[in-house]
Amino acid sequence: MGQINVTKTNLTDVLIVEPAVFGDHRGFFTESYSEEDFKVAGITANFVQDNHSLSSQAGVLRGLHFQKGESAQTKLIRVVTGAVLDVIVDIRKGSPTYGKWEGYILSEANHRQLLVPKGFAHGFVTLTDNVNFLYKCDNYYNAEADGGIAFDDPDLAIDWPIDIKKAILSEKDQHHPTLKEFSAENPFVYGEI
């Protein structure tokens, strides 16, 4: 039944995935994930874990996060209620898009999904209240491999659509290093992960 539309982005290896949505006066139906359809589209990640977060208010900013080393994760991200600006940064040394970021609106209305490969820092800011944010991972979470980049890194100059001084943040997300500070220990090398 499936079918998905896959669009390349300006960031190397990042894809926007749009599954077919069948709607009528009752609502809609979509296959949010079909291993067969994804393989036909050339996406072969073996997803082993599903994660779900709820952000109850607009202005919640989470990120920029990643898992290091053998715990690195490819993620397939979607929003089932509300809307976010989802932001990713290429942190793979040697990548043609190293240090570049892009933001994508993911929402319950557009049904878009974002495929984020290993070696990207990821975060989002909620644009509405009550955001249910779901993502598949191709590797299990490992607290010891947890890493992050500062969401307000001046060299990245991410254009968050909120006043970042008023962002609702976790304690952890207020203390990540900049990309320059992280670069000395950076385990991600383009083509090796």
Catalytic residue (one of 65, 111, 122, 176): 65
- Return the DSSP state at 39: H
Report the candidate in 64, 33, 63 with the shortest Cα–Cα distance to residue 47: 33
Return the H-helix or E-strand segment holding 38: helix 35-40
Catalytic residue (one of 104, 111, 122, 135): 135
Annotation marks residue 65 as catalytic:
yes
Residues in Cβ contact with 174 at an 8 Å cutoff, skipping those fewer than 6 apart: none
DSSP E strands, 25-141 = 27-30, 49-55, 61-67, 75-81, 83-90, 101-107, 113-116, 120-126, 131-137
Annotation marks residue 175 as catalytic:
no
Measured distance CA(79)–CA(81) in Å, rounded: 6
* Residues acting as catalytic residues: 65, 135
